[in-house]
Structure 1
């Protein structure tokens, strides 16, 4: 009798929607083994039911404790087949554990090329993909040399970082001086030319051989840097129609980064001048926050179950022929909106498939919208975010 696949889930309870990965793996026959520092009794019923066994550590930042947890599972259940959190924060821990226990997937040696923006640029350039010009810098003189080459404005951000966190748009020597006063000195920063374009993404999932079995394109209504710095409403959209150029470029990038049996989230600029694409970065994980749910709503699928099938049965079985426009619209509690939630559902409830209470860049309240026509999506978004 063939044994069940042993899948170690790091931090199986967080974020909340990622609990469904553990549930789907268990439902498809995996032995699901959880590690976290959360007391077992604090885990949701869904998570407890999904886990074959749970190992609580005192501190997930202590690698030795994480190692001991996996060693215990290996002793009890046999060879560990997969280790995954799907979480950017634990990606290096995941990789180190895979390395030490000889588990398939990204290893410690792979982290630089998928974590450091400077290394990402090298891979993009190696396949002829344009990138934002710039590099890592050390001090004022080094930074000023880059400014002299690129000109203001420039973008400064951590060489290893997620999203727009700790990102600076610098337009003058005075602002550059302020950056050096206020920056986190423990962080290595990279400086890039400012690119006038819209951020678009190529998101999806690959199988064990690196073949793309699912993909989507995400569009932002405004830059993430503006959403964070100005604390404003946002809207992101997975369109039903995806341009061929981003599909082709996305395929090249997936191959170049050797993304296998993983979710991916590539970010590009689409230039406002000639509409060409410039590579920004790769994230070897699902898109953040509620965006994974948009995979499901926009395609009428269960991406958690499909991921489990890719891992356990090496197949993706969902019918992707019913793709529709799917949007996520946020609102801030402090804003005075013209229409109430009751108004929203009264006027456009037919298009709203779900809502969520959230925080941070994704707003305080978010609505998932599905439409056949882009015009309907635009009309609903304007209604929801219209201020009094």
Structure 2
């Protein structure tokens, strides 16, 4: 089997996906713009071969790289990156080289929020009212029906980048006067807590494993207000969330992929779909999957790639939490005091790359406990300011 992996050096810990595929006997063929001698040794070891290109956005270079690998190793069976930014590029390559996976005809429904909304509605899954808007007049007509505040976000976007919360006509006028040159969707503001349904589906669409995370606030608030964040996996998925989450997995025909589906919980057991992402949850959540259940999600994904299935008897042993710190805050307790107080619970402390720091903070603590009270106590200790 031949798997081509796009940009195997970023994020850094994702080389573990490549390593596990290689350990199962497949060829793992990397394409990236980082010179080979600058790759981390662990990344080099995870690859069968690496093809350097100058510009990741130059499609002709990607085609030439895939052509080289095809000539040298035979037909490409998989082309992956596990990165939302490259989903459309992946689909185009799969079309051109007849590779299994999400194809060009499928990409809009998992990239465009307007198309996602229609798919949710077709499956009778509740969503926020929304529509594409190109003028102030059209926006005001929409707002007349839902009222302020409203959220304006790129129809194709990652995270909360270039997302705005508008409270008034003045905000609306200002938004249209300075908005980025992109197609925008406007949505009613839904008041509720953010909760996700996450997991990995095999080639048949059956779930290898699933979990859920509760977020202290949305990424929009985290980024726009420069706040720290925490989010926690739940040992027990609420039954109503699992039901609607599985319904979404089937509606979006998730096959041989991770998924990260976000909802607003407007009341206990009441969920409104926010968006679906056909990738692992961001940041270091794949490591949290492992810590929460003492599993190896990198190996599970590799088994799905190579064998189509990955049998797993999975028990959610712990709640696992990520809590960030941002350099702008004066925290009451030092890093050393955090470690001294809670070392028995802490699995990892990570320095967050700058590209992710607006959402994930400058430093992140990952910790676990069977008891949610422990998690709450540790979060308060980490986030308490002077």
Q: Gapped runs of 5+ residues in structure 1?
A: none
How far 1:17 moved relative to its partner? 1.1
1:117 aligns with 2:119: no
How far 1:311 moved relative to its partner? 1.6
Aligned to 2:344, the other structure's residue is in SS state helix
Cα distance in 2 for residues equivalent to 1:318 and 1:383: 35
8 Å contact from structure 2 (residues 203, 309) kept in 1: no
For 1:108, which of 98, 104, 111 is the aligned residue?
104
1:299 aligns with 2:296: no
For 1:255, which of 239, 250, 255 is the aligned residue?
250
How far 1:322 moved relative to its partner? 4.5
Show the counterpart of 2:274.
Answer: 280
For 1:360, which of 351, 358, 361 is the aligned residue?
358
Aligned to 1:161, the other structure's residue is in SS state coil
Show the counterpart of 2:76.
Answer: 80
Instruction: Encode CA deviations 1:80-100: one digit per residue, 9 max, x unaligned.
Output: 100000011111111100111
How far 1:225 moved relative to its partner? 1.4
Alignment of 1:49-68 (within 5 A): 49-68=45-64
Show the counterpart of 2:224.
Answer: 229
Alignment of 1:184-195 (within 5 A): 184-185=180-181, 187-195=182-190
Show the counterpart of 1:369.
Answer: 367
Cα distance in 1 for residues equivalent to 2:317 and 2:309: 20
Instruction: Encode CA deviations 1:98-146: one digit per residue, 9 max, x unaligned.
Output: 1110000000111111101111111111111111001001111111111
Cα distance in 2 for residues equivalent to 1:322 and 1:84: 28
* Large movers: runs of 4+ above 6 Å: none
Cα distance in 1 for residues equivalent to 2:316 and 2:286: 17
Aligned to 2:323, the other structure's residue is in SS state strand
Cα distance in 2 for residues equivalent to 1:232 and 1:99: 41
8 Å contact from structure 2 (residues 240, 269) kept in 1: no
8 Å contact from structure 2 (residues 150, 189) kept in 1: yes
Cα distance in 1 for residues equivalent to 2:2 and 2:115: 33
Relative to the length of structure 1, the TM-score reads: 0.96
Relative to the length of structure 2, the TM-score reads: 0.97
How far 1:210 moved relative to its partner? 0.9
How far 1:334 moved relative to its partner? 2.5
1:386 aligns with 2:381: no
Show the counterpart of 2:194.
Answer: 199
